[in-house]
Structure 1
Amino acid sequence: MAKHLIVTQDSDGSSDEVCSWFYRYGVSFKRLNLDSYKIIDRNNDLYSDYFNFDNIDISIPGEKKVNDENFTEKFTSIWYRRPSANLDNMVIDETESGLSEFLLHKIRSNQKSELKELYSYIFNSIQGSVILGNRLETRANKLEILSIASKLGICIPRTKVISTKRQILEFQKEVNNSLITKSIFEPIAAMDDDLKQRHMSYTNELTDSILDKIPNYFSPSLVQEKIEKDFEIRTFIMGEKYYSMAIFSQNNEKTAVDFRRYDLEKPSRNIPFALPEELTVKIKKLLKIIGFNTGSIDIIKGKDGKYYFLEINSVGQFGMVSRPCNYNIEYHIYKYLTRDEEKTS
């Protein structure tokens, strides 16, 4: 059995880069992609270290085998990079089913529920001496995290969840400032059926023109005071290591409210940054409470000199921090998982 397990997705480029370090040093590992249920040709060198749940043999009680890998045994390390399965790719073959669309929908829904139960059972049995990430909690409740952060003395923007236009106008007077709105859950990311246009939801300022179009009543929405910023900070956390990057997004009107509105012609200036020690201590307390030992955190350095915590993503991208700042985070993840393990082949 391989000593190291990487639970991720086929489409995650950061996982590819970390795997390249395992190959470079000849350290044995297995990679489990949870967004693909295709049969893997294990005679193909490209997939020799990959496997998925296409061949399961479980005895209850007893061993849990997947493609002859015994999940009852203990791994040296496990990296839960992206442990959420895309179950849409794991559905029954419909081509010759002869079933109605209604019944197919019900069967697919039930199959997804059964696979989730199966994954939970298998993952709950996996043990590792070194674990990076969380097999069960792949995301944090944004509202709960803001509440915990505030209680720990971490500054957050004044925040409300509201559902009427009247409440927006009252909140605007209360803060005597502009407001922004963002998703309570995850931002929308969708591609048209013809794969020609991608749709994304961003953080947006509630300007007068937008307020004029808002109905009197709407679905509960997250609204915050707009913080006038010096710059934004993206921090990637790996255990006790903090890798931070300052993003001077406010210098460009396109990225001023949300740096994810990338301007490829005039990209934001990014430089390495060190968080204040007092803030780092409080963030460590926050992570301990929510049970995370890795993730990406977004922070604003306000013009008032304060640091405003925005949110944390337990599986957030870190390549955008690694490359501009020359941190080589992918290599450090490899070292964290292997603990300077000697070459095995």
Structure 2
Amino acid sequence: MNKILIITHTQDNFSIEKVTQYIDKNGCEVIRFDVDDYPLKNKLSTTFEDGKWITILETPEKKHRLDDIAAVWYRRAYNMGNGLREELDPKFYGAAMGEVRNTLFGFLESIDAYSLGKPSVYRRLDSKEEQLKIADKIGLKIPETAITNNPEEARQFVLKHKNVVAKMQTGFAIYEDGVESVVFTNVINEEKLEELDTLLYCPMQFQKKIEKQKELRITIVGRDVYAFEIDSQQSEKAKIDWRKDGVNLIDKWIPTELPTDIEAKLLELLDVYNVDYGAIDMIVSPEDEYYFIEINSAGEFFWLDNLTEENQISKSIADLLCDKAPRRNNMVLA
């Protein structure tokens, strides 16, 4: 029986269970590695002896061989080393966490099997600038863009384009008194030019504001394309960033058809990155122009999966992992 390794954490959502059910139906076995239980509860060991590499994952429940897995789904690595800070002298904590991350990520990079996502892929896709350049090169329309920490450059961009949106290039939140405040996309106009002085300390991405007929979330798994649209302008909160009212809009998404050329270019985008999963955000203007905004290497899909027949996105992921669907070969030593 082929073994499929899933890298996640104990608080992940029910999408893991849905994919696991389809993996079971495909006759494969799931090994779940919760990284927030590593290293205090989960033990990971790799040895090279007598000409053989052997990797063992030992959890409180069972010991698993990982050197003979058929595929890995690197979904999440949240809260790695949970509880370690309380166990160690503070002067050793930073060094220990560095070794924890390097050991786990080193193992994931070296797996000689098909991998749906890996740390190096996620790091590369963190570059919004590269995303936009590749999208532009393959013929997708992108907004006018400036990425800068130069306040004067940003002011000139705003003055030229009048209405501009500003966003962080990473998932960004501010924590104060234990409260998390997520930084969403916001409009910058001429009235806010003086506020741009703080760019000196932290660069941002600015884009010409695109008027929205609708917003799209397109989840691609292998060669399967699942496109959904939403009229984000129906909510005052969601007009600039639909996530601001995401909970109330969660059941307002509807399946949609992409123009043939747009779908082909999005598949080409995944070909360029040699990845089999991407959650893509696009805007359709009132003039029916499709603007590429970004691709998320591990973007959530669970709320859209619920809108498909029998959780088809989860099935596509399981089929890829079990080698029952066409996939882009990314084995380390292929």
Relative to the length of structure 1, the TM-score reads 0.80
Task: Name the counterpart of 2:120.
Answer: 136
Counterpart-to-counterpart distance in 1, 2:66 and 2:83: 21
Q: Is the 8 A contact 1:17 1:330 kept in 2?
A: yes
Q: 2:269 aligns with which of 286, 304, 308?
A: 286
Task: Name the counterpart of 2:7.
Answer: 7
Counterpart-to-counterpart distance in 2, 1:294 and 1:230: 26
Residues 1:87 and 2:69 are matched in the alignment? no
Q: 2:279 aligns with which of 296, 300, 303?
A: 296
Q: 1:78 aligns with which of 72, 93, 107?
A: 72
Counterpart-to-counterpart distance in 2, 1:304 and 1:334: 38
Task: Name the counterpart of 1:126.
Answer: 111
Residues 1:172 and 2:158 are matched in the alignment? yes
Counterpart-to-counterpart distance in 2, 1:114 and 1:189: 26
Q: 1:198 aligns with which of 174, 177, 180?
A: 180
Residues 1:189 and 2:181 are matched in the alignment? no
Q: Is the 8 A contact 1:243 1:327 kept in 2?
A: no
Task: Name the counterpart of 2:35.
Answer: 34
**Unaligned segments of structure 2, at least 5 residues:** 326-334
- TM-superposed deviation, 1:77: 2.9
Task: Name the counterpart of 1:18.
Answer: 19
The range that moved more, 18-27 or 204-213, is: 18-27
- TM-superposed deviation, 1:288: 1.8
Alignment length (residue pairs): 314
Residues 166, 216 of structure 1: CA spacing in aligned structure 2 closer, same or farther, 3 A cutoff?
Answer: farther
Task: Name the counterpart of 1:113.
Answer: 98
Counterpart-to-counterpart distance in 2, 1:117 and 1:162: 31
Counterpart-to-counterpart distance in 1, 2:290 and 2:22: 35
* Counterpart AA for 2:65: N
Task: Name the counterpart of 2:243.
Answer: 260
Q: Is the 8 A contact 2:26 2:319 kept in 1?
A: no
Residues 21, 193 of structure 1: CA spacing in aligned structure 2 closer, same or farther, 3 A cutoff?
Answer: farther
SS at match of 2:36: coil
Could you list the per-position Cα deviations for residues 219-258 of structure 1 after superposition, in whole angstroms to 9, with x for gaps in the alignment? Answer: 3221110001111100111000011110110222210110
CA-based RMSD: 2.9
* Counterpart AA for 1:110: A
Q: Is the 8 A contact 2:146 2:154 kept in 1?
A: no
Q: 1:330 aligns with which of 314, 318, 334?
A: 314
- TM-superposed deviation, 1:312: 0.9
SS at match of 2:243: coil
Q: Is the 8 A contact 2:108 2:118 kept in 1?
A: no
Counterpart-to-counterpart distance in 2, 1:302 and 1:77: 40
Residues 217, 66 of structure 1: CA spacing in aligned structure 2 closer, same or farther, 3 A cutoff?
Answer: closer
Task: Name the counterpart of 1:56.
Answer: 45
Counterpart-to-counterpart distance in 2, 1:85 and 1:58: 26
Q: Is the 8 A contact 2:212 2:286 kept in 1?
A: yes
The structure with the largest alpha-carbon Rg is 1
Counterpart-to-counterpart distance in 1, 2:10 and 2:291: 34
Could you list the per-position Cα deviations for residues 62-107 of structure 1 after superposition, in whole angstroms to 9, with x for gaps in the alignment? Answer: 322222433322x23322222x36334263654xx6x5xxxx24x2
Q: Is the 8 A contact 1:165 1:215 kept in 2?
A: yes
SS at match of 1:12: coil
Q: Is the 8 A contact 1:249 1:268 kept in 2?
A: no
Q: Identify, as 1 or 2, the structure richer in helix.
A: 2
Q: Is the 8 A contact 2:284 2:291 kept in 1?
A: yes
Q: Is the 8 A contact 2:139 2:265 kept in 1?
A: yes
Q: Is the 8 A contact 1:296 1:316 kept in 2?
A: yes
**Unaligned segments of structure 1, at least 5 residues:** 41-51
Q: Is the 8 A contact 1:249 1:269 kept in 2?
A: no
Q: 2:215 aligns with which of 232, 240, 259?
A: 232
The range that moved more, 322-331 or 154-163, is: 322-331
Q: Is the 8 A contact 2:281 2:294 kept in 1?
A: yes
- Using the aligned pairs only, state the percent identity: 27
Q: Is the 8 A contact 2:250 2:303 kept in 1?
A: no
Q: Is the 8 A contact 1:154 1:308 kept in 2?
A: yes
Counterpart-to-counterpart distance in 1, 2:120 and 2:199: 36
Could you list the per-position Cα deviations for residues 37-76 of structure 1 after superposition, in whole angstroms to 9, with x for gaps in the alignment? Answer: 2766xxxxxxxxxxx4x25353466322222433322x23
Counterpart-to-counterpart distance in 2, 1:193 and 1:58: 44
Counterpart-to-counterpart distance in 2, 1:265 and 1:116: 37
Q: Is the 8 A contact 1:165 1:217 kept in 2?
A: yes
Residues 244, 198 of structure 1: CA spacing in aligned structure 2 closer, same or farther, 3 A cutoff?
Answer: same
Residues 166, 290 of structure 1: CA spacing in aligned structure 2 closer, same or farther, 3 A cutoff?
Answer: same
Could you list the per-position Cα deviations for residues 192-245 of structure 1 after superposition, in whole angstroms to 9, with x for gaps in the alignment? Answer: 555xx4311101111455335443753322111000111110011100001111
